[in-house]
Amino acid sequence: MRTPYDIILKPVITEAAIQNMQQKKYTFKVATDSNKIEIKNAIEEIFKVEVEKVTTISMKRKPKRMGYHVGSTSEWKKAIVKLTSASKTIEFFDSLM
């Protein structure tokens, strides 16, 4: 049995993610084998908020090079979580706005 902390790995903090926070949309890096229902339940349990919608995006690997060496970034999964209008905000992200 996986815990919510195994599903939600870390928050994603970019310019686009910070702009979405005004509409109560928060972005997280999640486990690649998790689904939308697991993500919703994990967010509600960890942060004690009400989730309206979960959108997931599979981020593909990108080629990178460092001088002569060629490699690529890791594949990962991103989840954008929209909270209900009656729900409170996530306190962790309040300091970023």
Extents of the domains making up the chain: 4-94
Verdict on whether the full-model pTM lies above 0.85? yes
Q: Is domain 4-94 in CATH 3.30.565.10, yes or no? A: no
pLDDT digits (tens, 9 = 90+) for 36-90: 999 999 999 999 999 999 999 999 999 999 999 999 999 999 999 999 999 999 8
Q: Is the dihedral of CA 30, 36, 37, 41 positive or negative?
A: positive
Q: What is the band of 10 on the pLDDT scale with cuts at 50, 70, 90?
A: very high
The yes-or-no verdict on residue 94 having pLDDT over 90 is no
